[in-house]
Structure 1
């Protein structure tokens, strides 16, 4: 038997399909990636150049190229995930016999 409690107030919980939820999170990650890259590229400007904590320019250049490589790899991963999700979405729509939204 189920107990009938008082009715819930407020908004009902929102149910999102797992695929659409994941697709939106990947799209959000793709939108945030340039801003993360910009913040990582600005970090060498914060490095101290006076005193014994001086940073060599070669270290800064290696850091910048390392960040650049990571951004390219991250963009490639996100692009592959988005393409795979798009393929799955179109295959699912074709299986239902409908048109893509």
Structure 2
């Protein structure tokens, strides 16, 4: 039977955010190549379909940028809180 290791909420959240940051490129690749596998190459060459695919890829691109910015901001915010709490108090001057 495996023993459960208790992690503080902040440490657990930071680990999950790091996992999300590692998986964002994989998500981007899956979303980028999914239409090719779903529809096939024959429909990608049509004029009207091509504009729809370009809009789809642009939306994916913008969405990944926003997700990456949010994850990065969240990670830096939690790291700042950790360093602020572990920093020694300022020395008093006589």
Partner of 1:41: 32
Name whichever structure is richer in helix by fraction. 2
Q: How does 1:21-100 map to 2 (within 5 A)?
A: 21-46=12-37, 47-48=39-40, 49=42, 56-94=49-87, 97=88
Q: Aligned-pair distance for 1:40?
A: 0.2
Structure 2 portions without partners, runs of 5+: 90-94
Q: Separation in 2 of the partners of 1:62 and 1:34?
A: 20
Q: Report how far residue 43 of structure 1 moved.
A: 1.6
Normalised TM-score (structure 2): 0.80
Please list every run of 5 or more consecutive structure 1 residues that lacks an aligned counterpart in the other structure. Answer: 1-9
Q: Which protein shows a greater Rg?
A: 1
1:20 lines up with 2:11 in the alignment: yes
TM-score (norm 1): 0.75
Query: How far off its partner does 1:14 sit?
Result: 1.2
Number of equivalences: 84
Give a deviation string over 1:45-94, Cα, whole Å, max 9, x none: 122436xxx77100011000000000000000001000101100100111
After TM superposition, what 4+ stretches of structure 1 lie above 6 angstroms from structure 2? none
Q: How many angstroms does 1:11 deviate by?
A: 3.8
